[in-house]
């Protein structure tokens, strides 16, 4: 008996975030999955959800999908307030999106979107220049100098304890410097009436990693503040300002239940 081809693949709705109902989807935007499908908008009252169809057996978690999730949200944040959902939010169909997600949380979503009107997240990242921060540690800490001299030109096995001690010392000194630099950066940003959230370091040489929520209209002021920090830390810390982004660090959105 000849097997019949599977002409209908079961799909579900992947949900990216919540937006005002007047938001329109970009006809060229594509979401997660292989192949990625178009982004559409499911509306209920004054709010809507950005969604795309995925096959129910699609494995989630590929780097490409994580990037697509963020790309859709960040592109939306440039044009309108958006409440991002965590990666992996899947609902059975568009009706469930409207009735079980949007309708049940409408008042909370409307209030949160209103508070974000005209605002977006920016991320200030600073990373210590490796040789510069090492010179700084050695210039300020005699113990580090002595340990470095103790291991110079000697076999690693013979100086294992000293190398461990030096590594721990450098890590602790950098951590103290990071705290001081974070305080300086937070102070500079809060002068602009910016809401700041301190992110955990993602690299051992991270100097600052700050999420900022502010009016999009204040972006030039934020760029000037970041530029001033970059100039102050020139040759010591590489500074970058990313954004506008979706407000990942400032919004807690109800996760839909399949």
Tens digit of each residue's pLDDT, the chain (258 residues): 444 444 455 889 999 999 999 999 888 899 998 889 999 999 999 999 999 999 988 888 889 999 999 999 999 999 999 999 999 899 999 999 999 999 999 999 999 999 999 999 999 999 999 999 999 998 988 888 888 888 887 888 888 888 899 889 999 999 999 999 999 999 999 889 899 999 999 999 999 999 999 999 999 999 999 999 999 999 999 999 999 999 999 987 656 655
Count of helices and strands (H, E) across the chain: 7, 9
Give residue 3's pLDDT.
44
Q: Residue 15: which residues within 8 A CB-CB, separation 6 or more?
A: 49, 50, 51, 85, 89, 90, 91, 97, 101, 256
Q: Let me know the angle formed at the C-alpha of 195 by 244 and 249, rounded to the nearest 5 degrees.
A: 60
Domain boundaries, the chain: 11-117, 120-245
pLDDT on residue 4: 45
Kindly report the CATH class assigned to 120-245.
alpha beta
What gap in Å lies between CA 99 and CA 111, rounded to an integer? 18
């Amino acid at each position: 008996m000849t097997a019949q081809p599977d002409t209908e693949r079961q799909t579900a709705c992947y949900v990216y975030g919540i937006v005002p109902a007047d938001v329109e989807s970009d006809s060229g935007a594509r979401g997660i999955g292989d192949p990625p499908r178009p982004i559409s908008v499911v509306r209920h009252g004054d709010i809507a959800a950005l969604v795309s169809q995925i096959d129910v057996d699609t494995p989630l978690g590929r780097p490409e999908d994580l990037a697509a999730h963020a790309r859709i949200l960040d592109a939306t944040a440039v044009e309108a307030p958006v409440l991002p959902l965590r990666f992996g939010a899947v609902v059975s169909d568009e009706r469930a999106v409207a009735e079980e997600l949007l309708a049940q949380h409408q008042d909370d979503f409307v209030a949160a979107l209103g508070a974000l009107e005209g605002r977006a997240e920016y991320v200030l990242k600073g990373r210590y220049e490796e040789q510069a921060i090492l010179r700084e540690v050695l210039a300020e800490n005699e113990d580090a100098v002595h340990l470095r001299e103790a291991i110079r030109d000697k076999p690693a096995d013979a100086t294992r304890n000293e190398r461990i001690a030096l590594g721990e010392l450098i890590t602790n000194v950098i951590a103290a410097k990071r705290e001081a630099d974070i305080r300086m950066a937070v102070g500079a940003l809060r002068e602009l009436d910016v809401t700041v959230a301190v992110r955990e370091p993602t690299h051992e040489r991270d100097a600052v990693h700050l999420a900022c929520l502010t009016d999009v209209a204040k972006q030039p002021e934020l760029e000037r503040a970041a530029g001033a920090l970059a100039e102050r830390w020139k040759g010591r810390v590489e500074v970058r300002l990313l954004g506008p982004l979706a407000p990942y660090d400032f919004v807690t959105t109800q996760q839909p239940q399949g």
